[in-house]
């Protein structure tokens, strides 16, 4: 006999989804029990749903296939929404399973009753409620296919408790996701003409194009045509370092991006949207495409962007090779930690094949320069701007790639959002080195308070942007969650602790006392 939960989990595993991050409740108990019936499925406990969904995001960015999440009713989905928002903006495939009350129980308006569909639909993905135990297997296979359709999305399956526990479940075979659309040859040819015209052009790449294949094609195009190839501001997964073409990244600050794009006659988009200001600022433009610039779309989000870049490169850069970045790690600095020198420590000591989960925010402004010539690595960024992503994404990345060292570079204020991710690092003995950039402030908001032109800088406003009184001691917090930790106040201490953390397996945390840049 197979109940709904067993059919669901079997189908997920058969469809290539074999990790489930979860924080279950009573309505998910049959799902939990069914994990033992399906040896292929690994269950990973997180202590908060925001960790669950962020881990699923990090997992899929590195594994190239979705994880499942297990959430408890509407409030559990609510807790998971912020990191699902980031996953949505990263175009990460995620299969979200949400337990609901039994079908016949919903009418009683029990305390945990709420609507789940509006929350699921908020993620702009695929949503289905399993209607009978016989359908659960097929629903699960459809969910995986929906999640994996290019460019990747969040597929939510709502699972009433009785459909989970009823007998009569039927596992379904994997469903192939819809294939990515191929680039239109005429569009590619037109854009080749633009590039050959000699007029100033920027090729802005994003999505699936920020791996070695897309970066190489974009760099070949730049080398052959004189166009500038650039990477979108917050790539989901950017490959960098020695041996990889080092493309300029579009800046977060509208002022930066405006400077980078000025004078551009043609803006060619591949796997990304036309750049806009992250926030609105009084009297400043939201649209960052310069006046007089023509925007061309080589490949949209649903297209096979790497293939399109490859075809374009074949047309305009047939004999041109990509220009790999030379190895050039910075020297190890000395003295008290500063926003300038901590990044040099990371750049100097970054191990081969590292994965960086980067939520260093203002403290990390100089990071890309310091790590440009470090050994090849991948960087996972805060795609949707919802803070509290970095530590959960590191958890997921480490589970996806246990063979690679994971480094979480984490701002203090954002770390507090989903701090219990540290516990899962310890529970699963994940090889993650977390460096907290502890400047005792929402430093980015101090900057933003100026940038939006707010009139005052009074004591109450300052109080709301200040994280001192008390200073958070992240070393103690980490030890409380079972992660060995140390505090660094100098570049030497940071280097020493970072080296040791990398040398030992399992999680470590360094509370780096880096003064604010602003």
Tokens of 372: 């440009």
Residue 356 binds a second copy, judged by CB under 8 A? no
Piece of 60-68, 113-121, 183-191, 400-408 that binds a second copy (CB under 8 A): 113-121
- The footprint of a second copy on this chain (CB under 8 A) covers a number of residues equal to 103
Q: For residues 481 and 447, give the distance between their C-alpha atoms in angstroms, rounded to a whole number.
A: 32
Residue 168 binds a second copy, judged by CB under 8 A? no
Interacting residues with a second copy between 216 and 235 (CB under 8 A): 234
Tokens of 470: 């008390």
Q: How far is the CB of 471 from a second copy (least distance, A)?
A: 7
Residue 108 binds a second copy, judged by CB under 8 A? yes
Tokens of 82: 């912020």
- Indicate the residue among 165 and 498 with the shorter CB distance to a second copy: 165
Buried b (16+ CB within 10 A) or exposed e, 280-319: ebeeeeeebbbeebeebbbbbbebbbbbbbbbbbebbbee
Q: How far is the CB of 360 from a second copy (least distance, A)?
A: 17
Interacting residues with a second copy between 179 and 218 (CB under 8 A): none
Residue 276 binds a second copy, judged by CB under 8 A? yes
Piece of 34-42, 200-208, 320-328, 496-504 that binds a second copy (CB under 8 A): 34-42
Piece of 40-48, 130-138, 195-203, 334-342 that binds a second copy (CB under 8 A): 40-48
CB neighbours (10 Å) of residue 352?
Answer: 12
Residue 229 in 3-state DSSP? strand
Residue 102 binds a second copy, judged by CB under 8 A? yes
Interacting residues with a second copy between 385 and 414 (CB under 8 A): 385-386, 388, 413
Interacting residues with a second copy between 41 and 70 (CB under 8 A): 43, 45, 47-48, 50
Angle, alpha carbons 231-233-239 (nearest 5°): 50
Distances (CA, A) of 13 to 157, 324, 405, 437: 15, 39, 26, 38
Residue 29 binds a second copy, judged by CB under 8 A? yes
Interacting residues with a second copy between 419 and 458 (CB under 8 A): 419-420, 423, 426-427, 444-445, 448-449, 451-458
DSSP lists the bridge partners of residue 267 as 202, 295
Q: How far is the CB of 3 from a second copy (least distance, A)?
A: 8
Q: For residues 306 and 330, give the distance between their C-alpha atoms in angstroms, rounded to a whole number.
A: 32
- Given 170, 184, 213, 479, the residue binding a second copy (CB under 8 A): 479
Name the residue with tokens 């912020």. 82
Residue 22 binds a second copy, judged by CB under 8 A? yes
Residue 118 binds a second copy, judged by CB under 8 A? yes
* Cβ(367)–Cβ(409) below 8 Å: yes
CA 407 to chain centre: 14
- Indicate the residue among 121 and 352 with the shorter CB distance to a second copy: 121
Interacting residues with a second copy between 231 and 260 (CB under 8 A): 234
Q: For residues 57 and 458, give the distance between their C-alpha atoms in angstroms, rounded to a whole number.
A: 39
Q: For residues 516 and 518, give the distance between their C-alpha atoms in angstroms, rounded to a whole number.
A: 5
Helix (H) or strand (E) holding 370: helix 367-371
- Given 461, 490, 496, 500, the residue binding a second copy (CB under 8 A): 461
- Indicate the residue among 59 and 234 with the shorter CB distance to a second copy: 234
DSSP lists the bridge partners of residue 154 as 94
Piece of 81-89, 204-212, 391-399, 494-502 that binds a second copy (CB under 8 A): 81-89
Q: How far is the CB of 327 from a second copy (least distance, A)?
A: 33
Name the residue with tokens 């009418």. 107
């Amino acid at each position: 006999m197979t109940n709904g939960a067993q059919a669901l989990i079997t189908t997920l595993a058969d469809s290539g989804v074999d990790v489930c991050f979860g924080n279950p409740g009573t309505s998910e108990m049959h799902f939990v029990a069914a994990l033992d019936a399906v040896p292929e499925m690994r269950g990973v406990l997180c202590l908060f749903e925001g960790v669950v969904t962020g881990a699923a995001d990090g997992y899929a960015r590195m594994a190239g296939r979705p994880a499942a999440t297990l959430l408890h009713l509407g409030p559990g989905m609510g807790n998971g929404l912020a990191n699902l928002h980031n996953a949505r903006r990263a175009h990460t495939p995620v299969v979200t399973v949400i337990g609901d009350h039994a079908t016949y129980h919903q009418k009683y308006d029990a305390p945990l009753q709420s609507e789940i569909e509006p929350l699921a639909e908020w993620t702009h993905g695929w949503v289905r409620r399993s209607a009978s135990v016989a359908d659960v297997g097929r629903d699960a296979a459809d969910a995986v296919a929906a999640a994996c359709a290019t460019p990747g999305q969040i597929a939510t399956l709502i699972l009433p408790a009785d459909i989970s526990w009823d007998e009569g479940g039927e596992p379904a075979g994997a469903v192939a996701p819809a294939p990515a659309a191929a680039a239109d040859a005429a569009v590619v040819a037109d854009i080749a003409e633009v590039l050959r015209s000699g007029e100033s052009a920027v090729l802005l790449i994003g999505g699936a194009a920020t791996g070695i294949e897309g970066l190489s094609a974009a760099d070949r195009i730049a080398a052959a045509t004189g166009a500038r190839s650039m990477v979108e501001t917050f790539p989901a997964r950017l490959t960098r370092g020695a041996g990889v073409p080092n493309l300029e990244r579009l800046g977060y600050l509208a002022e930066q991006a405006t400077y980078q794009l000025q004078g551009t006659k043609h803006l060619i988009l591949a796997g990304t949207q036309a750049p806009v200001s992250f926030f609105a600022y009084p009297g400043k433009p939201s649209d960052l495409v310069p006046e007089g610039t023509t925007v061309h779309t080589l490949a949209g989000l649903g297209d096979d962007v790497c293939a399109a870049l490859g075809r374009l490169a074949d047309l305009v850069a047939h004999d041109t090779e990509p220009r790999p970045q030379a190895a050039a790690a910075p020297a190890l600095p000395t003295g008290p930690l500063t926003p300038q020198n901590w990044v040099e420590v990371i750049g100097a000591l970054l191990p081969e094949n590292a994965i960086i989960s980067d939520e260093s925010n203002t403290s990390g402004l100089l990071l890309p320069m310091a790590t440009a010539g470090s050994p090849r690595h991948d960087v996972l960024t805060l795609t949707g701007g919802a803070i509290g992503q970095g530590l959960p994404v590191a958890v997921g990345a480490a589970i996806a790639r246990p063979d690679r060292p994971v480094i979480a570079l984490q701002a203090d204020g954002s770390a507090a959002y989903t701090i219990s991710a540290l516990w899962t690092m310890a529970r699963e003995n994940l090889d993650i080195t977390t460096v907290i950039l502890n400047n005792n402030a929402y430093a980015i908001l101090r900057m933003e308070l100026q940038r939006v032109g707010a009139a005052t800088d009074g004591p109450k406003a300052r109080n709301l942007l200040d994280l001192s009184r008390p200073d958070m001691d992240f070393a103690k917090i980490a030890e409380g969650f079972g992660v060995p930790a140390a505090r660094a106040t100098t570049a030497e201490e940071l280097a020493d602790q970072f080296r040791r953390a990398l040398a030992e397996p399992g999680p470590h945390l360094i509370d780096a006392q880096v003064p604010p840049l602003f």
